[in-house]
């Protein structure tokens, strides 16, 4: 009987693989560290990091870690509801909404995170750091800080 391959719930992108070494009494122990971002293209995105003796195990651990750190963001007409600026360590990320048809105008890690999150139109700028890990975390934290316009109106009505 033919078995259909299972569709993955999340798309997964490996951003970085580093070889890390620690010095012990007998010499050096080498391991691998993987940074992975996952997303469903419908407003969920997460990042994870994993270390292991081989690359494939490190990637598996990182994707498992990313599933525990999922962030749900409000997408309004294929973009984010309002501009957001977020800082994580020395990395600063500015993400602005864009009109329909603009596409994602962003570099490196920010582009990958926005694509996996399902944002189709946005303009972004990374400032301060070239570190992929810091930029990925800053981007996801910036998206996590977004609240929907309905939620903002509800909060304002509660304050009044």
Q: What is the pLDDT of residue 143?
A: 94
pLDDT over threshold 60, residue 4: no
Helices (H), 15-131: 55-68, 108-117
Full-model pTM: 0.86
- The whole-number average pLDDT for the span 25-45 is 95
Please state the rounded mean pLDDT for residues 49-71. 96
pLDDT in the model for residue 6: 58
The predicted structure's pLDDT at residue 151? 76
Q: Please tell me the predicted confidence (pLDDT) of residue 11.
A: 94
Strands 104-105 and 44-52: unpaired
| Cβ atoms within 10 Å, residue 76 | 13
pLDDT, averaged across the chain: 91
Cβ–Cβ < 8 Å for 101, 121: yes
- Backbone angles phi and psi of 38, in degrees to 5: -120, 155
Distance CA 56, CA 34 (A): 9
Q: Is 91 exposed, middle or buried (0-12, 13-18, 19+ CB in 10 A)?
A: buried
- In angstroms, how far is CA 53 from the centroid of its own chain? 24
CA distances from 15 to 1, 27, 34, 84, 149 (A): 38, 29, 8, 23, 31
Look at 84 and 7; give whichever has higher pLDDT: 84
pLDDT band at 3 (very low <50, low <70, confident <90, very high): low
Please write the tens of the pLDDT for every residue from 93-149: 999 999 999 999 999 999 999 999 999 999 999 999 999 999 999 999 999 999 877
Domains and CATH numbers, the chain: 11-71 (3.30.160.20), 73-154 (3.30.230.10)
Output 15 or 158, whichever has higher pLDDT: 15
């Amino acid at each position: 009987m033919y078995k259909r391959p299972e569709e993955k719930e999340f798309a997964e992108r490996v951003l970085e693989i580093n070889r890390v070494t620690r010095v012990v009494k007998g010499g050096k122990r080498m391991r691998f560290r993987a940074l992975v971002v996952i997303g469903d293209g419908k407003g969920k995105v997460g990042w994870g990091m994993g270390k292991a003796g081989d690359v494939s195990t490190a990637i598996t651990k990182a994707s498992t870690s990313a599933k525990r750190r999922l962030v749900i963001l409000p997408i309004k007409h294929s973009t984010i509801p309002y501009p957001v600026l977020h800082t994580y360590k020395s990395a600063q990320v500015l993400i602005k909404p864009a009109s329909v048809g603009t596409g994602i105008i962003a570099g490196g890690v920010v582009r990958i995170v926005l694509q996996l999150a399902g944002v189709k139109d946005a303009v972004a700028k990374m400032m301060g750091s070239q570190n992929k890990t810091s930029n990925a975390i800053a981007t996801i934290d910036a998206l996590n800080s977004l609240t929907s316009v309905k939620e903002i109106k509800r909060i304002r009505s509660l304050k009044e």
